[in-house]
Amino acid sequence: MELKLLRSMLTSLASTSRLAVELFLKIQSDNEESDDDSESCNAYDTKLLMLFTDMLSTMECCFWARETSTEWWDHIVMEVWDDKQWLQNFRMRKTAFMGLCEEVAPTLRRKDTRLRAALPVEKRLAIAIWKLATPDSYRSIGNQFGVGKSTVGIVLMQVCRAINRILLRRTMTLGNVQDTVDGFAQMGFPNCGGAINGTHIPILAPLHLASEYINRKGYFSMVLQALVDHCGHFIDINTGWPGKVHDACIFRNTGLFRKLQAVTFFPDRKITVGDIKMPIVILGDPAYLLMPWLMKPYIGSLDCSKEQFNYRLSRCRMTVECDFGCLKERWRSLYGKLGGESSIPMVVFACCTLHNTCDGKGETFSQAWTSKV
């Protein structure tokens, strides 16, 4: 083996190990005192290889890690908190939370490594839900759960991705159309299958095309457009459009619009009103275009019959307005300014999915969440 190669090996190792530097200097000093004949060089090579191998096999690897406490999560939250405290802080009771853990576990579970133990699925989900439900910073959440600030951000994205992958299509469904039609009929509007509207999700100023995200109210946002049933259950959602884009433009570019236009979204169930056969319709505000399957209010000078029509339509359409309010109060991170425009839709989708999941598990909305924090 050439001496230059051996010295190159030790030089590379020396950049990360003080012990290697000392070894290199010692061997070099011994070599200068010896003769330069071939036998001495071979002995030198053998000695150097033996010491090099011995050093690698016996050197202890020390990894630095900040000491953190998990006492609050392990013993207070998991063992002491009652259902009221779980509902207030995690928007669901402990039994519902543990059931959710089982559903997302196949995607969220990680293996322990030689450096550290993996975070349990329960803790990963709790960190993400706490972030979605509160305006707390990554730093404060990390201190509470005994993890690093960057870990909170990583776990949030992992959990949102898992929720969307496993639960989104399962919870965002049309459901029993007849129940929905009957529900809206009791509120005053016949043959109605849902109410549609858009809401703005505040975001931080994007790095590119920021002016496109300034909405009519003057702040940066992304639009969440949703169709809901009579109970406030999300049937279809679309998000990611800049706040400057009009609701009608967003709607015309969605899969929902194409399905409604092709009469494939709802069953072909019509009722006769006067001389007109009326299909199942959805209700929108004046921003939307009037379609055979989309009703919106009259505008301008109105007579009594048109005012009554507007009243009934508005009463049913308020379902989606109320649902947006409940969504943002339940997942208060949607009130804050979300950052990273590429990841915001994933977070919004996860919040809507969790909203449907909580309602499906009987986790009713609490007025206590509406208090400003």
**Which three-class secondary structure string do you get for 50-75?**
HHHHHHHHHCCCCCCCCCCCCHHHHH
Q: What are phi and psi of 264, to 5 degrees?
A: -120, -5
Kindly give the pairing relationship between strand 281-283 and strand 294-295: parallel
What share of the chain in percent tops pLDDT 70? Answer: 81
In the predicted model, what is the mean pLDDT of the chain? 85
Predicted local confidence at residue 373, as pLDDT = 45
C-alpha to C-alpha distance for 240 and 221, rounded to whole angstroms: 9
CA distance 373 to 186: 37
Written as one string, the DSSP assignment of 30-42 is HHHHS--SHHHHH
Each residue's pLDDT tens digit, 258-279 = 999 999 999 988 888 778 888 9
Burial class (CB in 10 A: 0-12, 13-18, 19+), 230: buried
What pLDDT score does 301 carry?
Answer: 87
Task: Select from 340, 348, 333, 328 the least CA-distant residue to 135.
Answer: 333
Q: Backbone phi, then psi, for 259, in 5-degree steps?
A: -70, -40
Check if the beta carbon of residue 124 is closer than 8 Å to that of residue 159.
Answer: yes
With beta carbons less than 8 A apart as the criterion, state whether 350 and 171 touch.
no
172 and 197 Cβ atoms separated by less than 8 Å: no
CA distance 104 to 73: 20
- Cα dist from 183 to 53, 116, 194, 231, 234, whole Å: 78, 53, 10, 8, 15
Strands 271-273 and 294-295, bridge-based pairing: unpaired
- List pLDDT tens digits, range 148-185: 899 999 999 999 999 999 999 999 999 899 999 999 99
Give the HSE-up count for residue 312: Cα atoms under 13 Å, Cβ half-sphere: 15
pLDDT at 336: 83
User: From residue 130, how far is each of 73, 209, 281, 324, 372 by CA, in Å?
Assistant: 12, 31, 38, 20, 16
Q: Where are the alpha helices (DSSP H) in 146-189?
A: 149-171, 177-187
Q: Give residue 115's pLDDT.
A: 74
99: pLDDT strictly greater than 80: yes
d(Cα 30, Cα 23) in Å, to the nearest integer?
Answer: 11
